[in-house]
Amino acid sequence: MSASAIALFSSGRRHGNTGRLIDTIAAEADVEVVDLAPLAIAPYDYEHSNRDDDFEPLMRRVLDHQSIVFATPVYWYGPNGPMKIFLDRVCDLLDLPALKPEGRRLREKTAYVVSTSIYPDAPAPFVEMFRDTFDYLGMRYGGIAHLDCRDGYDADAAAPVAAEMVARLAAGSADSS
Ligand SMILES: Cc1cc2nc3c(=O)[nH]c(=O)nc-3n(C[C@H](O)[C@H](O)[C@H](O)COP(=O)(O)O)c2cc1C
């Protein structure tokens, strides 16, 4: 049986600040972590000539889960590049008649954000980009876990941030059962 949550993780390094935070969450919650880095996901293409890449198989995996976690560092007030490309490709589910039923399934899902940066809070444009995108897609927003990594990754500081997200995920899966 699949985990109740899937985390799409993207960073310039697998075991950096964001990777450690999502792994801490996944150690306590029923979360399948998928690293976007090794996947071949081409940028959005109006001609959809990229349909044979890894996006659609990944999306089918994502739609098997009730809760979807987007885990990314803040890079210039936004997500990192591959995460943005993934989000752009979600437009395929709105554009292509064959994929529209899958796109509508996003409306059943709850989306969460896990992030790190060098400030105590994620910047407003970063949070708004995710929230507005989830809203547009009809997804429920389940909240954000953000860790200040100005002085590097501090496991003691990460523990309560991770615990709060674990509790949110547990509450989200209880709501949907
Ligand atoms: C390309 C790049 C852009 C960044 N932009 C921001 C930013 O806009 N705001 C911020 O607070 N930190 C920024 N940072 C710092 C990272 O968000 C922070 O170090 C984060 O914890 C790195 O996570 P990682 O180890 O998963 O890459 C940036 C770092 C990089 C490499």
pLDDT (tens digit, 9 = 90+) per residue, 2-12?
A: 679 999 999 99
pTM of the full structure: 0.97
- What tens digit of pLDDT does each residue of 97-139 get? 999 999 999 999 999 999 999 999 999 999 999 999 999 999 9
Cβ(79)–Cβ(72) below 8 Å: yes
From CA 23, how far away is CA 114, in angstroms rounded? 11
Distance (angstroms) between ligand 1 centre and the Cα of 105 equals 32
- What tens digit of pLDDT does each residue of 13-26 get? 999 999 999 999 99
Question: Using a 6 Å CB cutoff, which residues line ligand 1?
Answer: 11-13, 16-19, 73-77, 116-119, 149
For residue 53, give the nearest of 69, 36, 72 by alpha carbon: 36
Partner residues linked to 72 by β-bridges: 115
- pLDDT value at position 176? 62
Domain extent for 14? 5-176
Ligand 1 atom closest to the CA of 153, numbered from 1: 21
Count of structural domains within the chain? 1
Q: What is the CATH number of the domain that holds 16?
A: 3.40.50.360
Q: Cα–Cα–Cα angle for 13, 14, 20, nearest 5°?
A: 110
Distance (angstroms) between ligand 1 centre and the Cα of 118 equals 7
